[in-house]
Amino acid sequence: MSTKAYAAHSATTPLAPYTLTRREPLPTDVEIDILYCGVCHSDLHSARSEWGPSTYPLVPGHEILGLVTRVGDKVTKFKVGDTAAVGCLVDSCRTCSSCAADLEQFCLGGPVFSYGGPDKHSGGQTQGGYSEKIVCDEAFTLKVPTNLDPAAAAPLLCAGITTYSPLRKWGAGPGKKVGIVGLGGLGHMGVKFAHAMGARVVLFTTSQGKVEDGLKLGADEVVISKDPAAMAKHAGSFDLILDTVSADHDFNAYLALLKLDASMVLVGAPPAPQSVSAFSLILPRRNLSGSLIGGIAETQEMLDYCGSKNITCDIEIIPIQAINEAYERMLKSDVKYRFVIDMASLKG
CATH number at residue 251: 3.40.50.720
Q: Looking at the structure, tell me whether residues 143 and 173 fall in a common domain.
A: no
DSSP conformation class of 193: H
In one-letter notation, the amino acid at residue 271 is P
Q: Looking at the structure, tell me whether residues 183 and 152 fall in a common domain.
A: no
What is residue 270's predicted lDDT score, i.e. its pLDDT? 84
Of 248, 274, 290, at which residue does a domain stop? 290
Report how far residue 83's alpha carbon sits from residue 154's, in angstroms, rounded to the nearest whole number: 11
Q: Please, what are the averages of pLDDT over each run of 10 residues along the chain (348 residues)? A: 95 96 96 97 91 93 98 96 97 96 96 94 93 97 96 97 98 97 95 98 94 96 95 97 92 96 94 90 94 97 98 97 96 92 89
Residue 98 and residue 298 in contact, taking contact as beta carbons nearer than 8 Å: no
What is residue 238's predicted lDDT score, i.e. its pLDDT? 98
Beta bridge partners of 341: 37, 318
Report how far residue 60's alpha carbon sits from residue 327's, in angstroms, rounded to the nearest whole number: 12
Q: Looking at the structure, tell me whether residues 116 and 232 fall in a common domain.
A: no
Which value, to the nearest 10 degrees, does the dihedral of the CA atoms of residues 226, 230, 236, 241 take? Answer: -50
Judged on CB neighbours under 10 Å (0-12, 13-18, 19+), 207 is middle
Residue 108 located in a structural domain:
yes
Residue 306 located in a structural domain:
no
Report how far residue 284's alpha carbon sits from residue 34's, in angstroms, rounded to the nearest whole number: 49
Q: Looking at the structure, tell me whether residues 136 and 277 fall in a common domain.
A: no
CATH number at residue 322: 3.90.180.10
What is residue 283's predicted lDDT score, i.e. its pLDDT? 86
Q: Looking at the structure, tell me whether residues 168 and 83 fall in a common domain.
A: no
Q: Looking at the structure, tell me whether residues 264 and 186 fall in a common domain.
A: yes
What is residue 115's predicted lDDT score, i.e. its pLDDT? 96
Residue 308 located in a structural domain:
no
Q: Looking at the structure, tell me whether residues 151 and 169 fall in a common domain.
A: no
Q: Looking at the structure, tell me whether residues 106 and 174 fall in a common domain.
A: no
What is residue 241's predicted lDDT score, i.e. its pLDDT? 98
What is residue 240's predicted lDDT score, i.e. its pLDDT? 98
Report how far residue 83's alpha carbon sits from residue 322's, in angstroms, rounded to the nearest whole number: 25
The total number of structural domains that make up the chain: 2
Residue 233 falls in which region: left (phi positive, over 0), alpha (psi -120 to 50) or beta: alpha
Q: Looking at the structure, tell me whether residues 101 and 139 fall in a common domain.
A: yes
Q: Which domain holds residue 166?
A: 160-290
Q: Looking at the structure, tell me whether residues 268 and 332 fall in a common domain.
A: no
Q: Looking at the structure, tell me whether residues 52 and 90 fall in a common domain.
A: yes
CA distances to 11, 31, 280 from 43, rounded to whole Å, are 12, 22, 33
What is residue 247's predicted lDDT score, i.e. its pLDDT? 86
What is residue 18's predicted lDDT score, i.e. its pLDDT? 96
What is residue 272's predicted lDDT score, i.e. its pLDDT? 83
Report how far residue 344's alpha carbon sits from residue 113's, in angstroms, rounded to the nearest whole number: 24
Q: Looking at the structure, tell me whether residues 151 and 228 fall in a common domain.
A: no
